[in-house]
Amino acid sequence: MIRIVGEMMSEREMFISEEEMLCYEEAFEVMCRRYPVVVICKYDVRQCDGVALLRALKAHPDLSAVWGRSSSSPTSPAREQGRKRAS
């Protein structure tokens, strides 16, 4: 299992624009599906607008599983927890 924490406001300085950073987030999500990883991307809500935060949340669809909602991902935490309860 690979564990990654990204503090996105300091990462923002590496990109030309917020748009470029969000495109990176979306591409990173696709790449991470290939490996057993847990990723936390931290955003400072005081430094991002609502549109950027919503887009970042949408880039990580399995995030909803963390909050107890079901997810379509076959390896999401919510599904794994459901399997353990059923056993």
38-61: pLDDT as tens digits: 888 888 888 888 888 888 888 777
Q: The pTM is what? A: 0.57
Q: At what angle do helices 18-32 and 50-59 cross, to 10 degrees?
A: 20
User: Domain residues of the chain, as ranges?
Assistant: 2-86
The mean predicted confidence, pLDDT, of the chain is: 74
Rounded Cα gap, residues 62 and 69, in angstroms: 9
Strands (E), the chain: 2-7, 37-42
CA distances from 64 to 2, 57, 59 (A): 20, 9, 11
11-29: pLDDT as tens digits: 888 899 888 988 888 888 8
Say if CB 62 and CB 71 are below 8 A apart: yes
| Count of other CB atoms within 10 angstroms of residue 52 | 19
